[in-house]
A = this chain, B = another copy of it.
Amino acid sequence: MIPSELRKDPLSSRWVIIAAERAKRPTDFDTDSIGDPPVFDPFSPGNEDKTPPEIASYRKSGTLPNKAGWRVRVVPNKYPALQIEGGLNKRGEGIYDRMQGVGAHEVIIDTPECAPSFTGSTDEHVQEVLWMYRDRLVDLSRDKRLKYGMLFKNVGRAAGATVYHSHSQLIVMPIVPDLIEEKLAACKKFFDYRGRCLLCDIALQELEQKSRLIVDSGQFIAFAPYAARTPFETCIVPKNHASHFESINQPLCEELAYILKRTMAKIEKGLKNVAYNYMFFTAPFHAGEQPHFHWHIELVPRLTRQAGFEWGTGFHINPVPPEDAAEFLRSVKI
Contacts and interface: CB of A to CB of B under 8 A. Distances in A.
A80 B160 contact: no
A178 interface: yes
Contacts of A10: 95-97
A21 interface: yes
A87 to B, nearest CB: 11
Q: How many chain copies does the complex carry? A: 2
Contacts of A300: 308, 311
A4 interface: yes
Contact of A312 (B94, B152, B198): B152
A85 B179 CA distance: 34
A100 B19 CA distance: 10
Interface of A: 1, 3-8, 10, 13-15, 17-19, 21-22, 79-83, 85-86, 93-101, 150, 152-154, 157-161, 169, 171, 173-175, 177-180, 198, 201-202, 205, 209, 226-227, 277-281, 298, 300, 305-315, 317
12 contacts: A5-B100, A7-B97, A8-B98, A19-B80, A21-B79, A81-B317, A153-B308, A158-B305, A159-B308, A160-B305, A169-B308, A178-B314
